[in-house]
Structure 1
């Protein structure tokens, strides 16, 4: 069969897409994964690493608190906006190409941020840096889909999940360490400069190791869909990233605008699919791909607490107890260590235990964070840093069994040709959850602090309680998905003829891809 051209129509069903995906193991796949994980760690670390440097940034650049906050929130905003379009571009034009473009942009923007002569320059560089990071992120998960199968894919996603968990948790530690080494005026610039040599080396290695091709060979881009999704995401995210400067009270109406735009985006994408077009995000990923919709929802509610809790801990330890940024980061290191080690183990077990790992992990998170809240309320503040460590370790081990198995279970039945947009959609959902958490939990912390006359343990415990609620909501979704998977697997086990041969089942493509009883007809 001749290769498909960019102008050929897309396959009309998931079976046709799966049949077209012939897998040949790349001998350089583990080396390529190492490069993408280093880059992924670097880009995700930049979400939180800068937060510890905001006081020195504000002083050195003579900036207002509201302006300097954009150094953090601007990066998070453009990061989230770019994920789905970049995933689709990678599917259409090649993941290697998009990865290299994003990495080059990230390195250049990091250098510009480090050399910024003014806060306006720095904010602009951070906006570009966020766009580049959003371009990189979906290529990471898509390349795993492309390069690995079976148990190897689970192990690869385990490493990817460990990278996500560690980078989120250790940002304050790394930031505090860099500021400690680069003490004095302008020391914050090294938070950005450190990306440059790492990024240059990674770029050279990626040129050599990443596989060529890998795109879907479909070069049409749904411009209307990109604009609707971008505008809708901007309307929802903007009040959240402006929360600390009163964005929620001033800009609440943007949530309504965002809801209308997202609804229009969904209607448009359905229309594109109905006319055999190429949507920026195919809604059938949610409605017809086993595990994708509920996995994305689980990731969203989990990240509400998982992302926001680090700001609560930073406020508690630094403002309440007078810790330095490095000491504050070290106090929460047990969670990062537990999460990292458990994520690697979970990657090896996910093919065998599936969604059960996520359920077990979420139960561990609930127990660990609940215990942490109780410890903060009962022990003297001077002993809180040590006393909370065992509870955080338990919560971290649980967290390690959540992120990487959920990524694997959410993306495992996605056609490789759509891996970029699917990964971008999943990470966008997580970014929305993170934006909500980073706005809501510190806000609740300050609210309880004011109501209790600066009772810092009570304020921190309230933030932890919200994280526990988010984990419980994710746990409920995990249990629902586990029960549904068991029911479907039991039904599949009965699909045999009298002679023991399998009965053809529309729910499965030729590679075992499950589509909930529906073929993907355009």
Structure 2
């Protein structure tokens, strides 16, 4: 979990450091956009190949090499003296981040079952929520201490001590996995998936006040066509037992395929979109300070951390319906927030604390049962591919949600103006969009629960000395 905290602290700090980068490096708005979006694209591109390389050669060395690459590129970025150097290093850093995160999901799938797996995903949620909460505070403090001109250089490396500790501990503590599957790495599949991911994400990243860029239709069309080609390709590889990048059999499982759509919609709503919607409403609409805009989203963030602690117990209590229960909390919380603001756009912050806290608890509970449902039944030999693909879906969903909300809050009034009243209206509509996305996810989660043959087992984790230090994965056709 230490590298996950490092990566999230670095990602959130980079957003806070944008003004400092602009002043200190003299970076253009286009370069600043790619400092943030290039990292996101690199991250999305690295996940599935990292997971599959781990399945093939062992997750330990993928994790260690990714961690080293991430730390080195973070240092290179902090010493940047040109826009190009900073952008390139951020893209490579994001790609390396994918090589760190994919093994984490694989290890949770391989080393834990039942209640222990739920607990691992719950800890994962708590760590991510806490890191995302403290990252901007750390970055802001560093920039204030060092100064705007050079503060960003120190801020971009703030999480590296966590990475260094994790690197030292990884050699003796992280077990190696040995996959006995034979076959060459699927470079064709990697290329096809990369084009699909970039083709789908890039237009959302380049959203402006005028909406999606002119080339968005061509980009989406190309991505859709190549997604079909990718599906045929991995099916062909799997039939030949040739180790496809993502096994086609994943998508024949209703819990996996429908669960991925649920994950996409949920992450589109609660990862960044709801924060942007409330921030625009509070600052551009109501004229409040950035601090007050942060305060209005604080209940959601705290609720997410609290929900992470509740995830294991909730899943034990409700079984396969735990995912639906988490989405009910999200839908009730955000619709209540919407109705409160629709009734009185100037509602006091206190009136929104409870609904946003409830919604945040839903988001914190969501991850553990969702990941456990999606990955349930996936063989250990494919754990890296399944984990990497699931995180790619999460990141793609987050980009989609951010674009929808940005388009919503960029709509002018009837006279073409952006008055506070117009921005208030746009912000409230953006909250409704987030609630609507979650409503669709809620309906699909019911289908997923009905497709799940039995409740998620609440097993007691095995004693530490009963587990092999280096679990050896069996070949396909071994245990189910």
* TM bracket (short chain): 0.7 to 0.9
- Indicate the SS of the match to 2:97: helix
Alpha-carbon distance in 2 for matches of 1:176, 1:303: 26
- Indicate the SS of the match to 1:402: helix
- Indicate the SS of the match to 2:411: helix
Residues 391/511 of structure 1: CA separation in 2 closer, same or farther (3 Å cut): farther
Structure-1 residue corresponding to 2:16: 52
Q: Determine whether 1:404 maps to 2:368.
A: yes
Structure-1 residue corresponding to 2:55: 91
Structure-2 residue corresponding to 1:418: 382
Residues 192/339 of structure 1: CA separation in 2 closer, same or farther (3 Å cut): same
Alpha-carbon distance in 1 for matches of 2:146, 2:298: 22
Alpha-carbon distance in 2 for matches of 1:200, 1:219: 34
Q: Determine whether 1:259 maps to 2:221.
A: no
Q: Determine whether 1:436 maps to 2:436.
A: no
Q: 1:312 aligns with which of 249, 255, 277?
A: 277
Q: 2:213 aligns with which of 249, 256, 269?
A: 249
1:264-413 paired onto structure 2 within 5 Å: 264-288=229-253, 291-307=255-271, 308-320=273-285, 325=290, 327-379=292-344, 381=346, 384-413=348-377
Structure-2 residue corresponding to 1:468: 435
Q: Determine whether 1:459 maps to 2:426.
A: yes
Q: Determine whether 1:198 maps to 2:165.
A: no
Q: After superposing the two structures, state which structure 1 stretch, 403-412 or 187-196, moved more.
A: 187-196
Encode CA deviations 1:409-463: one digit per residue, 9 max, x unaligned.
Answer: 1112111111000011111111111111112212211215756665333222111
Alpha-carbon distance in 2 for matches of 1:170, 1:378: 33
Is residue 151–residue 348 contact of structure 1 (8 Å, CA) maintained in 2?
Answer: no
Q: Determine whether 1:133 maps to 2:97.
A: yes
Alpha-carbon distance in 2 for matches of 1:172, 1:120: 25
Deviation at 1:322, TM superposition (A): 5.6
Deviation at 1:39, TM superposition (A): 1.1
Deviation at 1:485, TM superposition (A): 2.7
Structure-2 residue corresponding to 1:105: 69
Residues 338/467 of structure 1: CA separation in 2 closer, same or farther (3 Å cut): same
Alpha-carbon distance in 1 for matches of 2:148, 2:73: 23
Is residue 23–residue 148 contact of structure 2 (8 Å, CA) maintained in 1?
Answer: no
1:134-213 paired onto structure 2 within 5 Å: 134-167=98-131, 172-213=136-177
Is residue 408–residue 427 contact of structure 2 (8 Å, CA) maintained in 1?
Answer: no
Structure-1 residue corresponding to 2:197: 233
Residues 318/132 of structure 1: CA separation in 2 closer, same or farther (3 Å cut): farther
Alpha-carbon distance in 1 for matches of 2:434, 2:130: 18
Q: After superposing the two structures, state which structure 1 stretch, 304-313 or 85-94, moved more.
A: 304-313
- Indicate the SS of the match to 1:193: coil
TM-score after normalising by structure 1: 0.81
Deviation at 1:395, TM superposition (A): 0.7
Structure-1 residue corresponding to 2:469: none
Q: 2:446 aligns with which of 457, 472, 479?
A: 479
Deviation at 1:353, TM superposition (A): 2.5
Encode CA deviations 1:300-323: one digit per residue, 9 max, x unaligned.
Answer: 011111122222233334444565
Encode CA deviations 1:97-139: one digit per residue, 9 max, x unaligned.
Answer: 0111111111111112222222222111110110011111111
Is residue 41–residue 164 contact of structure 1 (8 Å, CA) maintained in 2?
Answer: yes
- Indicate the SS of the match to 1:354: helix
Deviation at 1:166, TM superposition (A): 4.6
Alpha-carbon distance in 1 for matches of 2:116, 2:36: 36
TM-score after normalising by structure 2: 0.87
Alpha-carbon distance in 2 for matches of 1:243, 1:448: 16
- Indicate the SS of the match to 2:409: helix
Structure 1: stretches of 5+ with no match in the other structure: 1-36, 490-508, 514-522
Structure 2: stretches of 5+ with no match in the other structure: 457-475
Q: After superposing the two structures, state which structure 1 stretch, 76-85 or 384-393, moved more.
A: 384-393
Alpha-carbon distance in 2 for matches of 1:179, 1:405: 38
- Indicate the SS of the match to 2:410: helix
Residues 359/171 of structure 1: CA separation in 2 closer, same or farther (3 Å cut): farther
Deviation at 1:164, TM superposition (A): 4.0
Encode CA deviations 1:253-312: one digit per residue, 9 max, x unaligned.
Answer: 111011111111111111111112110000101114x62112111100111111222222
Deviation at 1:155, TM superposition (A): 0.8
Is residue 110–residue 380 contact of structure 2 (8 Å, CA) maintained in 1?
Answer: yes
Structure-2 residue corresponding to 1:76: 40
Alpha-carbon distance in 1 for matches of 2:358, 2:61: 40
Deviation at 1:144, TM superposition (A): 0.9
